[in-house]
């Protein structure tokens, strides 16, 4: 941590770090992932940050299996109270 790697890196670290969280959970566009990948290749600081986030994301996905709704197609997409079943 000498602070030098945070200055002058191509693209800048700020926007990359903002997107790292979305990157590790696969929520970014492919071209955004490419930009981040290119930055991580030249920036050890962001790479370390990315590794930490990836670790946390993996832990969270194990602790909270319901991180992606589309993995549970059987779940109702509306709140149960908004649609009552017809009563005889």
Residues that bind Zn ion (CB under 5 A): 9, 13, 43, 46
Q: In angstroms, what is the C-alpha Rg of the chain?
A: 19
Least distance CB 1 / Zn ion (angstroms): 13
Q: How far is the CB of 52 from Zn ion (least distance, A)?
A: 13
Q: Which is nearer to Zn ion, 18 or 60 (CB)?
A: 18
Interatomic CA distance for residues 38 and 10, integer angstroms: 9
Question: For residue 47, which of 57, 36, 58, 56 has the smallest C-alpha distance?
Answer: 36
C-beta closer to Zn ion: residue 13 or 24 = 13
């Amino acid at each position: 941590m000498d602070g030098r790697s945070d200055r002058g890196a191509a693209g800048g670290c700020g926007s990359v770090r903002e997107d790292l969280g979305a990157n590790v959970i696969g929520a970014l566009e492919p071209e955004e992932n490419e930009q981040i990948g290119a930055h991580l290749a030249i920036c050890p600081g962001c790479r370390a940050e990315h590794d930490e986030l990836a670790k946390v994301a993996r832990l969270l996905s194990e602790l909270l299996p319901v991180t992606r709704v589309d993995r549970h197609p059987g779940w109702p997409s509306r709140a149960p109270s908004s649609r009552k079943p017809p009563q005889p």
